[in-house]
Amino acid sequence: MSSVAREWREIPGRYNLVGTKCTNCGRIFFPARTFCPDCRRASIGKIEPYALARTGTVYSFSVIHEAPDCNNMQKPYAVAMVETDDGVMIEGQLVDVDLEKIEIGMPVRAVLRKLDADGKAGVIHYGYKFVPQ
C-alpha cells in the first residue's frame, strides 16, 4: 500500500495541474519545485503556486501493450507527452481516443480519472489524464 500522506501531498498537482512558478525568471515547474535551478539563491521566497492550462497538444506519444496492474483493464492504451498552452511539457495517459487516430499536434484536454487504487479496501488515487479536445 502506498503512503496515504504522500498521495495526499500530490493532490494539487494531480487534480488541478498545480505546479510552481519562479517569479524571478518566470520559469514554470511541473511537478512543483520549491527552488529555481536557474535563479538559485535569487529564487528564495519567489516561488509561487501556478496552475497550468488544462489544454495543450500532443508532442509525442507511445502505445503501451505491457501494462502495469493499474492499467490492465485498458490495454493497449496510449501515453503522451503533452505541451500545455503554457508551454510546459507533462506526461499522461491519453484516454477516450481511437489509438489509430492519435497524431502529434492533436489538441487535448486534461480530465480527472482514476489512476489506481490500493486494492479493494485502500484509498483510490485520482489524477489527470488527457482526452481529445
Partner 1 sequence: MEVGIVSYGAYVPRYRIKPEEIGRIWGVDGKSMGKGLMINQKSVPSPDEDVVTIATEAARYMMDRVPEVDPKDIGAIYIGSESHPYAVKPTSTIVAEAIGATPAMTAADMEFACKAGTAGIQACMGLVGAGMVRYGVAIGSDTSQGAPGDALEYSASAGGAAYLIGSENIIARINKTLSFTTDTPDFWRREGQPYPLHGGRFTGEPAYFRHITSAAKMMLDAMGTKPEDYKHAVFHQPNGKFPTRVAAMLGFTPEQIQYGLLTPEIGNTYSGAVPLGLANVLDHAEPGDRIFVTSYGSGAGSDAFDITVTDAIKDYKRDNAPVLERILENPVYVDYGTYAKFKGKIVMPE
* Contact status: 111 vs partner 1 (CB under 8 A): yes
* Contact status: 65 vs partner 1 (CB under 8 A): no
| Alpha-carbon distances of 109 from 4, 88, 97, 116, 132, rounded to whole Å | 28, 14, 12, 20, 6
* Contact status: 129 vs partner 1 (CB under 8 A): yes
Cβ proximity to partner 1: between 27 and 125 the closer is 125
> 22, 47, 115, 130: which one contacts partner 1 (CB under 8 A)?
115
* Contact status: 32 vs partner 1 (CB under 8 A): no
- Positive or negative CA dihedral for 17, 22, 23, 28? negative
Please list the residues that pair with 57 across neighbouring strands. Answer: 83, 107
Distance CA 24, CA 41 (A): 10
CA-CA-CA-CA dihedral for 108, 114, 115, 119, to nearest 10: -170
Would you say 92 and 128 are in contact if contact means Cβ atoms under 8 Å apart? yes
From the list 30-38, 41-49, 57-65, 105-113, the region that binds partner 1 by CB under 8 A is 105-113
Cβ proximity to partner 1: between 43 and 92 the closer is 92
* Contact status: 68 vs partner 1 (CB under 8 A): no
* Contact status: 119 vs partner 1 (CB under 8 A): yes
Judged by CB under 8 A, the number of residues near partner 1 is 18
Burial of residue 123 (CB within 10 Å: 0-12, 13-18, 19+) is: middle
Residues binding partner 1 (CB under 8 A): 11, 15-16, 72-74, 95-96, 111-115, 119-120, 124, 126, 129
